[in-house]
Structure 1
Amino acid sequence: MRDQDFLNHFLEKGYFKDYSRVVLALSGGLDSMFLFHLLSTYQEELGIELFLAHVNHKQRLESDNEEYELRKLAEQVGVPIYVAHFTGDFSEANARQFRYDFFREVMEKTSSTALVTAHHADDQAETIFMRMIRGGRLQHLSAIKERQEFDKGELIRPLLSFYKRDFPEVEHFEDRTNKENHYFRNRVRNIYLPQLEKENIQLKRAFLEFGKEVSDYQIALTELSQTVNVGDLTQFLSFSEATQRVLLQQYLSRFADLNITKEQFQQVHHILKTKSQYRHRLKNGYELVKEYQHFKICKIRPKSDEKSSECVLNYQNQVHYEGYLFSFGIPLKGENVQKMNVSRETSLILRHRQPGDYLIKNGHRKKLRRLFIDLKIPKEKREKAIIIEQFGKICSVLGIKISDLSKKMKNDIMNTVLYIEKIDR
């Protein structure tokens, strides 16, 4: 294929129309060197300023020489290059993490918002097949995306529609370890796929079409499930178990770094069907929080001792406390202002719940613990509940319940009003 064919494809797809500063991940192999040739040759046509990012993994004798040659080539072409040397225990996963962390740094240094890699159709087919062998979920068998969010910008793979055989020969480095079969991808590339292609010469194309079909199903499911509030268990559990599993998978896919196993998925589904209130630690800093008829997946928040201590509010004074403005006897106006009858004889105490707390309701003592359970108040909301106390007794649990004490103040000669306005909406 001619260079012009690739350029026309890039322009037609509009890969770079929103990006003026672009970082290219340059390994030195044929695919990335050809992409370097295209992007550096047609910078003006594409409207981009190009930067290079190369990682010397220090795993081969040739690595330092390749780094030297790439630096020299970048200088000749007039394109800035940034280089990092891999450190730590080498593995495919560690090396990949190191590379992409470095690419983020380069994007930050160069104020670039696009990272470009030279992944092609052969890489796509290999990845789908590898995921099949590993036993991944259906959603993980979808095609690699041409474009996806990355850091503060986008990761673009402009060569995904082309096979490696489509690339013309350009100066590049051959990595002899690509012929060794210590690594899983090399075994797939050098042994498994060639053997299977004897049965079906179009096997790679079949994998690509399969991945595209899975991607289409995922997009369709996302669109069709937009009207379903998965976190509402009344709605979620009204569907068949098969539909529940699909909806749950769609919900979990929102958390890119979660990646729970099949066993963990089954455990989460079981909790949603059987538990009333439950917190379950997942992985990578996430937890499942189930509270009566709702659930959510969220990052585990570190414990903090920064909860506001109790606050004393005197008559004819105002105070901000836990996102509210409390005004003792000084009127506040507005549709969001709550009013509560209190006495002006003594100060009010604003605080959070304490062991043994109770309020008087219908002439009887009601422990807050039992009140919260009866009203099915989520645990998180219980901890944040604001207690309004006067005369050593609870007048109200803000937004949840008012005690008899407050009601008795309505006709008392010393009656006044506590005005409460939420200010951090």
Structure 2
Amino acid sequence: MIQEVSDFIYKHQLLHKKSTVIVGVSGGPDSLALLHLLHTLKETWELRLIAASVDHQLRGKESEQDVEFVKSICKQWEIEFVETKVDVKTYKKESSVGTQQAARELRYQYFREQMEVFQADYLALGHHGDDQAETLVMRLTRGTNPDGLKGIPMKREFANGHIIRPFLSVTRVAIEEYCKNNDLTPRIDPSNSEDSYTRNFYRIHVLPLLKQQNPNLISNLFRLSQTITHDELYLNLEAEKVLKQAVTFSSDTKEASLDLHPFSKYPIALQRRAFHLILNYLYHTMPDGLSYVHEDQFFEIIHNSKPNVTIDLPSQLKMSKAYDFVHFYFVKFESEVKAFHLPLQVPGSCQLLDGSKLTATVTSNPDKNTKYLMSFAIDETFAFPLIIRYRKPGDKIRVKGLNGRKKVKDIFIDEKIPLSQRDTWPIVVDQKGNIVWIIGLKKGIVTDRDIASSNFLQLHYIKGNM
């Protein structure tokens, strides 16, 4: 097995000479065999090895003894050793996650800290081919996209270095045989024989049945994961090009706008990957609720003949089609929208929630009106101070050339303003409730009289993220 793992390390460049390697060691067969094998290769690669062990405090004295066992092995083999205890039960309660996830997050947090302390190049972990097979079968059963079938990566960035998994090319049986041949007596976690955890259930009940049908299952699934990894790398690079052509990301807020004209020219395979790249950008952590259903909804709305369609995605993210664009944005709390009410003194200025700024000045020589600069003749009909707010149900505005008033809603429709932006579009009103300006869209008529005025109110809007 030493030669097989050595070849795997060389082929995939998992190590470089004179590197510092932290090895996660629990005392079980996989991690103990990994520590022993890397210790055997230590001189060849000129490695500095540090074993790191974590007591999750889930099995009382037994878990303490596991750490003491690893400590004694490291003393015997003259390997540096670090250890810690973590409170999984408290973290699980505070974070509302399962036991295994809580343990994993705390364990990796400690590994990250040690990587920085030792300025290590690698964190070596004992995941093997059977772990990879279990992961792929579990994901296939739950439902996943092709990216999920890459499985456990053999190497990925972590802290100031990389995580490496040199055992992914070998089986659990081979590791157990290695332990036997090298007189290693690993600790056995009794919880591994319980099928209450999902992974244990697959390992105990599902994988043996599949191996009966195909003894080469582990190696076949490993090759599949490698093939998909290479294919996904290429296709994602191509999908990045699609994003550059068709998607605009907000620099200040987690929003994205997809232009359907260039986007529709690309193959569905790239469209699908572009959709997932957008989600990767928007979500800090991918929510568990994402599924094939949302991918199907994405394709439904881009091919829907309706000009306005909105879909709810997990974690308050909305996907809203508005004519030739699809907008992705996180919904603001309704209370925050309703409460938005800013006074604007004249002269004076104020800053809006999205960072935009509105300035009011009085001048006898106003500039020419533009989309974001508007002037009004001042007389006694203006009721100051002005108010900046969002739209309300039934809002109407008087505009030049129309008898009566027009619904603000209809103006948004005429101007093809996306649904996602309508409820937070800034509107300027006076103290009497007259709409003075739907910023960037329509100027309101405040009085019916012709005004001969030497003073003008000039409003200047400096755009933020609207």
Q: Which aligned pairs between 1:132-281 and structure 2 lie closer than 5 A?
A: 132-148=140-156, 156-164=163-171, 165=174, 167=178, 169=182, 170-176=184-190, 178=192, 185-186=199-200, 188-189=202-203, 193=207, 196-197=210-211, 200-228=214-242, 229=246, 231-237=258-264, 248=275, 251-252=278-279, 257-259=286-288, 260-274=290-304, 276-281=307-312
1:81 CA displacement: 0.2
Select 2:341's aligned residue among 299, 309, 314: 309
Moved more, 368-377 or 33-42: 33-42
Deviation per CA, 1:286-320, whole angstroms, max 9, x where unpaired?
Answer: 433214133345555545538542313223x4444
User: What is aligned with 2:253?
Assistant: none
Give the secondary structure class of the aligned counterpart of 1:413.
Answer: coil
Select 2:425's aligned residue among 375, 380, 385: 385
CA distance in 2 between partners of 1:176 and 1:391 (Å): 73
User: What is aligned with 2:397?
Assistant: 359
CA distance in 2 between partners of 1:261 and 1:175 (Å): 34
Q: 1:6 to 1:261 in 2, by over 3 A?
A: same
Q: Which amino acid aligns with 1:277?
A: N
CA distance in 2 between partners of 1:325 and 1:17 (Å): 60
Select 2:320's aligned residue among 283, 286, 290: 290
User: What is aligned with 1:52?
Assistant: 53
User: What is aligned with 1:31?
Assistant: 30
Deviation per CA, 1:161-197, whole angstroms, max 9, x where unpaired?
Answer: 4314265534421345545666654565456555555
CA distance in 2 between partners of 1:391 and 1:86 (Å): 57
1:202 CA displacement: 3.2
1:340 CA displacement: 2.0
Does 2:435 correspond to 1:394?
Answer: yes
Q: Which aligned pairs between 1:7-86 and structure 2 lie closer than 5 A?
A: 9=9, 13=13, 24-37=23-36, 42=42, 45-46=46-47, 51-58=52-59, 62-73=62-73, 77-84=79-86, 86=88
CA distance in 2 between partners of 1:18 and 1:381 (Å): 56
Q: 1:236 to 1:4 in 2, by over 3 A?
A: closer
Give the secondary structure class of the aligned counterpart of 2:318.
Answer: strand
Q: Provide TM-score, normalisation by structure 1.
A: 0.75
8 Å CA contact retained: 2:360, 2:457: no
CA distance in 2 between partners of 1:194 and 1:66 (Å): 28
Sequence identity percentage: 21
8 Å CA contact retained: 2:240, 2:274: no
Q: 1:109 to 1:304 in 2, by over 3 A?
A: farther
Q: 1:52 to 1:4 in 2, by over 3 A?
A: farther
CA distance in 2 between partners of 1:409 and 1:35 (Å): 88
1:419 CA displacement: 3.6
Deviation per CA, 1:343-371, whole angstroms, max 9, x where unpaired?
Answer: 45564514113344333223322221221
1:224 CA displacement: 1.9
Q: Which amino acid aligns with 1:257?
A: M
Deviation per CA, 1:238-278, whole angstroms, max 9, x where unpaired?
Answer: 66777755654565566562353334543444344435434
Deviation per CA, 1:363-411, whole angstroms, max 9, x where unpaired?
Answer: 32222122112222123422332223458433322222233569x9997
In the alignment, structure 1 segments of 5+ residues that lack a partner are none
CA distance in 1 between partners of 2:280 and 2:360 (Å): 46
Does 2:84 correspond to 1:87?
Answer: no
Q: Which aligned pairs between 1:334-345 and structure 2 lie closer than 5 A?
A: 338-343=372-377, 345=379
8 Å CA contact retained: 2:316, 2:331: yes
8 Å CA contact retained: 1:272, 1:290: no
CA distance in 1 between partners of 2:19 and 2:375 (Å): 60
1:132 CA displacement: 3.6
Does 2:386 correspond to 1:349?
Answer: yes
Q: Which amino acid aligns with 2:28?
A: G
User: What is aligned with 1:415?
Assistant: 456
Deviation per CA, 1:98-152, whole angstroms, max 9, x where unpaired?
Answer: 12221244256557387542212332233223434555444322232123456x6
CA distance in 1 between partners of 2:301 and 2:12 (Å): 48
1:225 CA displacement: 2.3
In the alignment, structure 2 segments of 5+ residues that lack a partner are 248-257
Q: 1:66 to 1:276 in 2, by over 3 A?
A: same
Q: Which amino acid aligns with 2:234?
A: A
Q: 1:99 to 1:75 in 2, by over 3 A?
A: farther
Q: 1:65 to 1:369 in 2, by over 3 A?
A: same
CA distance in 1 between partners of 2:456 and 2:286 (Å): 56
8 Å CA contact retained: 2:129, 2:170: yes
Give the secondary structure class of the aligned counterpart of 2:319.
Answer: strand
Give the secondary structure class of the aligned counterpart of 1:377.
Answer: coil
1:213 CA displacement: 1.6
Q: Provide TM-score, normalisation by structure 2.
A: 0.70
CA distance in 2 between partners of 1:342 and 1:17 (Å): 74
CA distance in 2 between partners of 1:424 and 1:272 (Å): 24
CA distance in 2 between partners of 1:18 and 1:417 (Å): 68
Give the secondary structure class of the aligned counterpart of 1:329.
Answer: strand
CA distance in 2 between partners of 1:17 and 1:298 (Å): 47
CA distance in 1 between partners of 2:74 and 2:408 (Å): 70
Aligned residue pair count:
416
Q: 1:225 to 1:217 in 2, by over 3 A?
A: same
